[in-house]
């Protein structure tokens, strides 16, 4: 198993633009729904159980070689928010660009939803669907967690302790994502609604 390659792809320093997105946390903070570490914990748990599971399942399916057009259409159907569709494709585009500079991708597509792009890049890097799922699940937690330090001025140690406490949940979400018969569609209404509000702001710290 290429362990170092997994770490490389999951690393927040992987140059695919992930740091520009807060995973909906900026909208939640501005709406007053997340104010402190407890609020962040609830946000991360809910995001992992919904968007995290969906992303992990789609990343695993794309890594396994499922039809990309079908995955794109199914993920569109699970993403009612146009702002989230746009953010997902922007992140997917950045990831494909980076992936192409490192490995040989199986597709010539320039723009895919982020979880689908992640599966494609993971496969090109020699990773398994389970590893693609784990990378996706982990990313749904670490993105907003690092944004929280900037948005709320939270203690980075406490924030990382929270991520560490979610490690087992992340593992189990990734494991479920790899073994499900059907692609999941777990909804998070406030992520959709928040993303639409966020897209209307003129000044913001994060792209989504």
Binding site for other proteins (CB under 8 A): 24, 28, 31, 33-34, 39, 41-51, 73-74, 76-83, 85, 169, 184-193, 196-197, 199-200
Instruction: Give whichever of 109 and 196 is closer to other proteins, judged by the CB atom.
Output: 196
Separation of alpha carbons 59 and 117, rounded Å: 7
Instruction: Give whichever of 6 and 71 is closer to other proteins, judged by the CB atom.
Output: 71
Least distance in Å: CB of 80 to other proteins?
4
Least distance in Å: CB of 89 to other proteins?
10
Instruction: Give whichever of 74 and 99 is closer to other proteins, judged by the CB atom.
Output: 74
Least distance in Å: CB of 79 to other proteins?
7
Least distance in Å: CB of 37 to other proteins?
12
Instruction: Give whichever of 154 and 185 is closer to other proteins, judged by the CB atom.
Output: 185
Looking from the CA of 135 toward its CB, the CA atoms found within 13 Å total: 34
Instruction: Give whichever of 19 and 78 is closer to other proteins, judged by the CB atom.
Output: 78
The DSSP secondary-structure symbol of 52 reads I
Q: Tell me if 73 sits within 8 A of 194, measured CB to CB.
A: no
Stated length of the chain? 208
Separation of alpha carbons 171 and 91, rounded Å: 23
Separation of alpha carbons 119 and 63, rounded Å: 4
| Sequence-distant (≥ 6) Cβ neighbours of residue 130 within 8 angstroms | 60, 174, 175, 178
The DSSP secondary-structure symbol of 23 reads T
């Amino acid at each position: 198993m290429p362990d170092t390659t997994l770490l490389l792809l999951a690393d927040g320093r992987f140059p695919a633009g992930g740091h520009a997105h807060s995973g909906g946390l900026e909208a939640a903070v501005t709406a007053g729904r997340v104010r402190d570490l407890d609020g962040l914990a609830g946000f991360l748990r809910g995001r992992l159980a919904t968007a995290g599971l969906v992303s992990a399942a789609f990343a695993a399916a794309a890594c396994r070689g499922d039809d990309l057009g079908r995955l794109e259409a199914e993920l569109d159907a699970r993403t009612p928010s146009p702002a989230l569709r746009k953010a997902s494709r922007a992140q997917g585009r950045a990831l494909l660009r980076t992936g192409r500079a490192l490995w040989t991708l199986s597709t010539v597509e320039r723009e895919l939803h982020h979880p689908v792009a992640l599966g494609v890049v993971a496969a090109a890097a020699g990773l398994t669907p389970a590893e693609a799922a784990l990378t996706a699940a982990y990313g749904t937690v670490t993105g907003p967690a690092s944004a929280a330090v900037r948005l709320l001025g939270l203690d980075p140690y406490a924030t990382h302790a929270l991520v560490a406490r979610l490690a087992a949940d992340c593992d189990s979400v990734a494991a479920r994502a790899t073994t499900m018969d059907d692609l999941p569609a777990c909804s998070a209404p406030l992520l959709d609604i928040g993303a639409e509000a966020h897209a209307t702001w003129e000044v913001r710290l994060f792209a989504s």
